[in-house]
Amino acid sequence: MIDLLIAWLVSASSLLLVTQLPIGVEVDSTPKAYISAAVLGIVAAVVNPILRAVFFIPNLLTFGLLSGVVTFIVSAVALGAAASLVQGFRLKAGVVSALLGALALSVVSNLIYGFVSP
């Protein structure tokens, strides 16, 4: 349970930091960032198995070389879906903001986890 809470806090903090970058990801307030982080986690948990199933054969044919690309696509789709579900969370440039936001969220989250985890 504590791990889930830490993941949620890291995700929300990362989202708040990413909104400061000029890539088109916007959140109206800090509470909206926490709600967006929760929705983003739920959407990613639902979308991930579906997209992994869709990309299973191409990933198998490339001996797993597409796994990083699939993970990136899942993150971008989840970010776009969360932005469409939460009022006050926007992607100004659409797909470009989703792709750049997914990349930035990944980098920022990994940096924060580097400091948080022992």
Predicted pLDDT at 52:
84
Question: Distance between CA atoms of 3 and 58, rounded to whole angstroms?
Answer: 33
DSSP 2-71: HHHHHHHHHHHHHHHHHTTSTTSEEESSHHHHHHHHHHHHHHHHHHHHHHHHHTHHHHHHTTTTTHHHHH
Q: How many residues does the chain have?
A: 118
Predicted pLDDT at 67:
86
Predicted pLDDT at 106:
94
Domain that holds residue 112: 2-116
Predicted pLDDT at 109:
95
Predicted pLDDT at 18:
97
Q: Which residues of the chain have pLDDT under 70?
A: none
Question: Distance between CA atoms of 94 and 61, rounded to whole angstroms?
Answer: 31
* Domains in the chain, number: 1
Predicted pLDDT at 108:
96
Predicted pLDDT at 59:
87
Predicted pLDDT at 51:
85
